[in-house]
Amino acid sequence: MLKGKNVVLGVTGSIAAYKIANLASMLVKLHADVHVIMTRNATQFITPVTFETLTKNRCLTDTFDRADVSEVKHIALAERADVLLIAPASANFIGKMAHGIADDMLSTTVLAARCPVLLAPAMNVNMFRHPAVQDNLKLLAQRGVTVIQPDSGYLACGAVGEGKLPAEQTLLDYILHTAAKKKDLAGKKILVTAGPTQESLDPVRFITNHSTGKMGYAVARQAMLRGADVTLVSGPVHLAPPPFVTVVPVQSAQDMFEAVAARYAAQDWFVMTAAVADYTPVQTHSEKIKKNADGADLTLQLKRTEDILKWLGARKKEGQRVCGFSMETENMLENSKAKLAKKNADLIAANSLRDAGSGFGTDTNHLVLLQRDAVTDLPLLSKEDAADRLLDTLLSL
Ligand code: CTP
């Protein structure tokens, strides 16, 4: 995902420096070209050899490095970087950055950098809360530096509070959000529905379906990586919420409808991947269950839920785009074409439950994208790649 991207990691003197070895390894696995610059104090906590072994690049620690005279190292690195992350950032380094002090390899590189700069402070809670540090962070944020808030918890100094370097995955998410993809969806507001809905029979039991939410979460994540402002209205699933996405948890079809309807006016695109229940038990049902306690057969009385896709199609405003999903067991193309017209959608992503590698719970999908005047049969792809192709098609409409 980071092929051809140049990631510069600045490591300063903090015990949390050891975590950056893992981050560097994660970045290398995503094919980034990773360069690590350490302050002199950082080398007290972790050795440059660790980073050199992981990144296959020379780890820089000193401005007056005489090993390579062909270029001015800090300037060359600063110019090549697609993103620069300083983590852990000590109070001292934050102070230097805020006031333009450039007295070592890392601080000179930061001053010369034109790329987005991310900063992850890590220190004792009282140091972090000190007005000097807070003012410096505010100043840096005003200048466009992204400050990654530290986690709260047990700190290496024994204190409990804010100041912990966030997990490596969180730091990686920030890097991906900044540099992973072309930001061709910047400025677009996209609402995605995902997962199943749960329709309660009584306070204990419910009716649901096999949806795991994977497709919708993949759409939300790819759209976020491409710069969109994403809202994910999600039924109950066992997936981690994608970072930088506003997640609205819902349970029933009615909840999902209300969550979408409340946000509809502000959105540009809607991608409805949720397997919404078409029917829900009528309210009096738990009464009925009690009355049938003698074991007699019971007929469930169901009422139709609001068809969210159709509701959106009927209210589409100028510039809004609506994409539905269609999961079929037979006559996939005919039924999906009918859905496109009936629901006034711009795009229907159809998949057949009979297709190997497609449907509920899989990590892959074979989608057929239907527009009014075109049908695109995609190959079997990961749900992330399928999501990207779907977003490409919406962008081309
Ligand atoms: N959908 C919705 N609201 C509903 C039901 C479905 O928004 N109450 C959306 C789904 O998220 C999906 C699309 O409509 O994007 C098609 O769902 P599907 O269940 O295949 O369509 P139905 O119109 O319910 O057709 P069928 O009669 O085949 O179930």
Q: Is 307 in the pocket of ligand 1 (CB under 6 A)?
A: yes
Atom of ligand 1 nearest to the CA of 309: 7
Greater confidence (291 vs 281) lies with: 281
pLDDT confidence tier of residue 298, bands split at 50, 70 and 90: confident
Tokens of 247: 């997640």
pLDDT at 173: 97
Q: Is 270 in the pocket of ligand 1 (CB under 6 A)?
A: no
Residue with tokens 């785009």: 321
DSSP calls for 25-77:
HHHHHTT-EEEEEE-TGGGGTS-HHHHHHHHSSPPB--TT--S--SS-HHHHH
Q: Is 340 in the pocket of ligand 1 (CB under 6 A)?
A: no
pLDDT at 69: 58
Tokens of 275: 């397997």
Lowest mean pLDDT among 85-99, 198-212, 226-240: 198-212
Catalytic residue among 59, 115, 157, 323: 157
pLDDT at 328: 84
Residue 359 has pLDDT above 90, yes or no: no
DSSP state of 316: P
List domains and CATH numbers for the chain: 6-179 (3.40.50.1950), 189-396 (3.40.50.10300)
Tell me how far apart the terminal alpha carbons of the chain are, to the nearest angstrom. Answer: 26
Lowest mean pLDDT among 73-82, 120-129, 291-300: 291-300
How far does residue 338's CA lie from ligand 1's centre (Å)? 12
pLDDT at 290: 63
Residue 219 has pLDDT above 70, yes or no: yes
| Residue 157 is a catalytic residue | yes
Q: Using only C-alpha atoms, what is the Rg of the chain?
A: 26
The closest alpha carbon to 32, from 243, 179, 167, belongs to 179
How far does residue 244's CA lie from ligand 1's centre (Å)? 28
pLDDT tens digits, one per residue of 47-76: 999 999 999 999 998 756 656 656 666 788
Nearest CA to ligand 1 atom 29: 278
Q: Is 274 in the pocket of ligand 1 (CB under 6 A)?
A: yes
Q: Is 272 in the pocket of ligand 1 (CB under 6 A)?
A: yes
Q: Is 325 in the pocket of ligand 1 (CB under 6 A)?
A: yes
pLDDT at 156: 85
pLDDT at 287: 63
How far does residue 306's CA lie from ligand 1's centre (Å)? 10
The closest alpha carbon to 325, from 305, 352, 304, 303, belongs to 352
How far does residue 363's CA lie from ligand 1's centre (Å)? 21
Hey, what's the torsion of the CAs at 14, 18, 23, 28, to 10 degrees? 120
Mean pLDDT for the chain overall: 93
Nearest CA to ligand 1 atom 20: 326
pLDDT at 301: 85
Average pLDDT over residues 170-185: 96
Task: Give pairs for 73-78: CB < 8 Å, separation 24+.
Answer: 73/105, 74/37, 74/105, 74/108, 74/109, 74/112, 75/112, 77/8, 77/35, 77/37, 77/109, 78/8, 78/109, 78/110, 78/111, 78/112, 78/113, 78/114, 78/115
pLDDT confidence tier of residue 353, bands split at 50, 70 and 90: confident
Tokens of 295: 């074991």
Lowest mean pLDDT among 201-205, 217-221, 283-287: 283-287
Average pLDDT over residues 122-132: 96
Residue 148 has pLDDT above 80, yes or no: yes
pLDDT confidence tier of residue 226, bands split at 50, 70 and 90: very high
Residue 322 has pLDDT above 60, yes or no: yes
Residue 158 has pLDDT above 70, yes or no: yes
pLDDT at 349: 97
pLDDT at 99: 97
Q: Is 278 in the pocket of ligand 1 (CB under 6 A)?
A: yes
Is residue 215 within 8 A of residue 194, CB to CB? The reply is: yes
Q: What is the per-residue burial (b if ≥16 Cβ within 10 Å, else e) of 251-269?
A: bbbbbbbebbeebbeebbb
How far does residue 309's CA lie from ligand 1's centre (Å)? 7
Atom of ligand 1 nearest to the CA of 327: 20
Nearest CA to ligand 1 atom 4: 307
Q: Is 140 in the pocket of ligand 1 (CB under 6 A)?
A: no
The pTM assigned to this predicted structure is 0.91
Residue 375 has pLDDT above 70, yes or no: yes
Is residue 312 within 8 A of residue 276, CB to CB? The reply is: no
pLDDT at 20: 98
